[in-house]
Amino acid sequence: MLTLKEILKLSLILIITSNSFAQDTILKATVENAADDKPISSVHVINLNQVVGVITDKNGRFEIPAKINDTLYLSYLGFKSIKVRVTNDLLKFKNSKIQITELAYALEEVIVSPYKLTGYLEIDAKNIPISRALRYSIPGLPSRGYEGGSRNIGAFSKVLNSIFNPADFLYNLFGKNPKQLKKLKQMKEDYRIRELLASKFDRETLKELLQIQKIDIDEILRNCSYSENFIVSANDLQILDAISECYEEYKVLNRK
C-alpha cells in the first residue's frame, strides 16, 4: 500500500512527464524531388495545426515547431502539394526526408482573348474593358471598403445589408469555432504564410488552413458583398484579408 506522500510524488512525476511529451519539439527534415532525390529549396512548409510556416533552405532543409499528430502541408510551384502527418519517428530522426512529386503539365491550345489586339499599347488599352466593380467605404469601420459591384441604386443597400445582416455561413464557420478564428488571426500574422498566399490563386492552401472547401470560400465572399471579379481574380492573401475584415467588422457592428 502506497503512502499519501508516495502517491503525491508519483502524481508529480506523471504530470511532469506528460507535460514534457506535450511540449512542442523542433522537427528537422529535408525536402527532395521524388524523381531524382535532389533537395529542393524554397518549398513552403506549414504546420496546419499550429499555423506556422517556414521555407526550405538551399539544401532543402527546414526546421519547424511540431508535435506528434500535427499535419504539415508542403507546397511548391510545379509540384503536387502534399500533407504529412508528424509521427514519433519523424520527430526522432533529424535526417528525415520528405519527397514531393513534380506535376506533368499538358499544354492545350490557348486563345489569348476575344479582343482584337494590335500590339500597340495605346490602341489595345482602349479595347480591353475596365472592371466596373465599385467599392463603398463606411465611416468608422476599419476596412478599405466594400464592393457593390455596380452603380445601380440597390448596390449600396446591398453592401449595408451584407454588413448589418452578416453571412450566417461566415458566422457558423468562425463565430462558433474559436479555434478557427484563432487560426485566421495567426495566418494574418505569419509573414511566411502571407508570402506564400500572395503568390497563389488556387485556394488550395486556404482550404487546408481553414478546413473548408473552395465553394465555401466563394460563398463567404459573395455574402460579404465582394464582386465576382474580385472572387475570381484576387490572390489567396487578398481573399484571406477580405474574409478576416468581413468578420471583424461584423463583430464591431454586433457589439454596437
Highest average pLDDT, of 132-136, 155-159, 164-168, 190-194, comes from: 190-194
In angstroms, rounded to a whole number, what is the distance separating the alpha carbons of residues 136 and 156?
Answer: 7
Q: Do 144 and 207 belong together in one domain? A: yes
Per the model's pLDDT, the better-predicted residue between 49 and 146 turns out to be 49
Same-domain pairing of 145 and 109: no
111 and 151 in a single domain? The answer is no
pLDDT tens track for 188-242: 888 889 988 998 899 999 889 888 888 888 888 887 778 888 898 999 999 998 8
| Dist CA 98 CA 67 (whole Å) | 17
Same domain, 248 and 144: yes
- Residue that terminates a domain, selected from 104, 127, 150: 127
Q: Are 182 and 243 in the same domain?
A: yes
Q: What is the pLDDT of residue 44?
A: 94
- Shared-domain flag, residues 137 and 105: no
Q: Are 56 and 45 in contact (CB under 8 A)?
A: yes
Q: What is the pLDDT of residues 61-117, one digit of tens each?
A: 999 999 999 999 999 988 999 999 999 999 988 789 999 999 874 444 444 555 565
145 within some domain: yes
pLDDT at 161 over 70: no
| Statement to judge: residues 161 and 225 lie in one domain | yes
Percentage of the residues of the chain whose pLDDT score is greater than 70: 58
Neighbour tally for 174: CB within 10 Å: 24
Q: Indicate if 57 and 140 belong to the same structural domain.
A: no
- Mean pLDDT over all residues of the chain? 75
Residue 7 belongs to a domain: no
Residues 6+ apart with CB under 8 A from 138: 145, 146, 159, 163
Residues 135 and 117 in one domain: no
pTM of the model: 0.65
Assess whether pLDDT exceeds 60 at residue 169: no
Cα–Cα distance, 197 to 235 (Å, whole number): 7
Range of the domain at 104: 26-127
Residue 9 lies in a domain: no
Are both 149 and 251 inside the same structural domain?
yes
> Does the residue 221 lie in any domain?
yes
Task: Tell which of 127, 153, 172 closes a domain.
Answer: 127
pLDDT at 21: 44
Q: What is the rounded CA–CA span in Å between residue 44 and residue 218?
A: 24
Do 205 and 147 lie in a common domain?
A: yes
- Domains in the chain, number: 2
Question: Which pLDDT value is given to residue 255?
Answer: 60
Lowest mean pLDDT segment, chosen from 33-37, 117-121, 129-133, 223-227: 129-133
| Any domain includes 241 | yes
**Do residue 101 and residue 165 come from a single domain?**
no
Mean pLDDT, residues 156-177? 53
Residues contacting 53, CB < 8 A, separation 6+: 44, 45, 46, 47, 64, 190, 192, 193, 196
Last residue of a domain, one of 64, 94, 127: 127
d(CA 90, CA 170): 36
Count of alpha carbons within 13 Å of 11, Cβ hemisphere only?
7
Long-range contacts of 88-96 (CB under 8 A, 24+ apart): 90/27, 90/29, 91/25, 91/27, 91/66, 91/67, 94/28, 95/28, 95/29, 95/30, 96/27, 96/28, 96/29, 96/30
Confidence tier at 59 by pLDDT (50, 70, 90): very high
Residue 5 lies in a domain: no
The C-alpha cell 503525491 sits at: 8
Question: Is the per-residue pLDDT at 182 higher than 80?
Answer: no
